[in-house]
Amino acid sequence: MIQSIISFVVAFGASALIGRFLIPWLRALKAGQTIKEIGPKWHMSKQGTPTMGGIMFIAGILIAVLVAGWGGFVAGDFTALIVYLFALVFGIIGFIDDFFKVKFHKNEGLTAAQKFLLQLAAAIAFVVLLRFTGHIDNHLYIPFVNITVHIPWAAYMVLAAFIIVGCVNSVNLTDGIDGLATGVTMPVALFFTAVALTWGMTGAGVLSAALFGGLCAFLLYNFHPAKVFMGDTGSLFLGGIVCGLAFALDIPLVLILVGIIYICETLSDIIQVAYFKLTHGKRIFRMAPLHHHLEMGGWSEVKLFCEFTGITALCCVLAYWGVMDRFPVL
């Protein structure tokens, strides 16, 4: 537990300190967010707010992992580093996307096809690496009923790639108002920390505690009214690290519960687009994804943050109970 506490403290301190210098630097570079004209009109006031702020917690988490996880590296436990590097690949994809947006002052960077292929390649490489290192096999654990189902490796790879790419983009979609993706992911980080500590998986505990610390620090700058946005740099990294921890702990299906907000956001967007096309212009929601629908209905950004974070926290408590029999409690 002491390593996880150190990891949290270091990640929080490092991320908060980096933010003090990063935000003015991003302003000087004119790395401001371009707001979509089709979004809520009052969001236009956010135009020019520095983006790519996710760099601060990405760097802070790395520092924490190296400091608190060094003993594990010496002992041969590289779980924290493997998952971090996996998430960093997604962060780099997001950074490239953000860079093009900022450079050309557009709201679109990489094409959807380019992002999908890069994310798919990263997902497949990660699952292969976890298999090679012994973190996973082709037995899929079912939470709550405490059974594992044997499936062919090819089917497992397809399922894993679908879960990873889907989850990463769902987190990205959730990052639509001040602090939302940050707040929703904080209880998820605590969930993984609790699970890792319960099972004595120190490496995963160090990383998830660092994630929680980094997000706590980032929230100082990202809570409404936000001084900085995490950008795709941060949101894709978050999606990667959430998925990476779920697979490293061999409980990928728990993402359905702890990621309930991510899923609802994505489903609302899919339903909206499909219904719009089928009905030639009609809509189910005022605006998609879900947080914009509620925002258009009068919910403030602070209320959305509190409600969505609270729902996720409750689901994380339920999920903790549902996976406790996966491994012996230490």
In a domain, 46, yes or no: yes
Residue 219 falls within a domain, yes or no? yes
Q: Is 117 helix (H, G, I), strand (E, B) or coil?
A: helix
Q: Taking the model in full, what pTM does it have? A: 0.93
**Category of 76 on φ-ψ map: left (φ > 0), alpha (ψ -120 to 50) or beta:** left
CA angle, corner 11, sides to 229 and 250, nearest 5? 90
Residue 223 lies in a domain: yes
328 located within any domain: no
pLDDT, one tens digit for every residue, the chain (330 residues): 899 999 999 999 999 999 999 999 998 887 766 655 555 665 556 677 898 999 999 999 999 999 999 988 989 899 999 999 999 999 999 999 988 887 776 666 678 888 899 999 999 999 898 888 888 888 899 999 989 999 999 899 999 999 999 999 999 999 989 999 999 999 999 999 999 999 999 999 999 999 999 999 999 999 999 999 999 999 999 999 999 999 999 999 999 999 999 999 999 999 999 999 999 888 999 998 999 999 999 999 999 999 999 999 999 999 999 998 877 665
Distance CA 238, CA 283 (A): 30
Q: How far is CA 314 from the centre of its chain?
A: 18
Number of structural domains found in the chain: 1
* Residue 329, in any domain of the structure: no
Q: Is 224 inside a domain boundary?
A: yes
Domain for residue 79, yes or no? yes
* Domain boundaries, position 309: 2-323
- The closest of 48, 123, 87 to 210, measured between CA atoms, is 87
Decide if 330 is inside a domain. Answer: no
Q: Is residue 185 within 8 Å of residue 54, measured between CB atoms?
A: no
Using the Cα atoms of residue 321, residue 291, residue 232 and residue 108 in order, give the sign of their dihedral.
Answer: positive
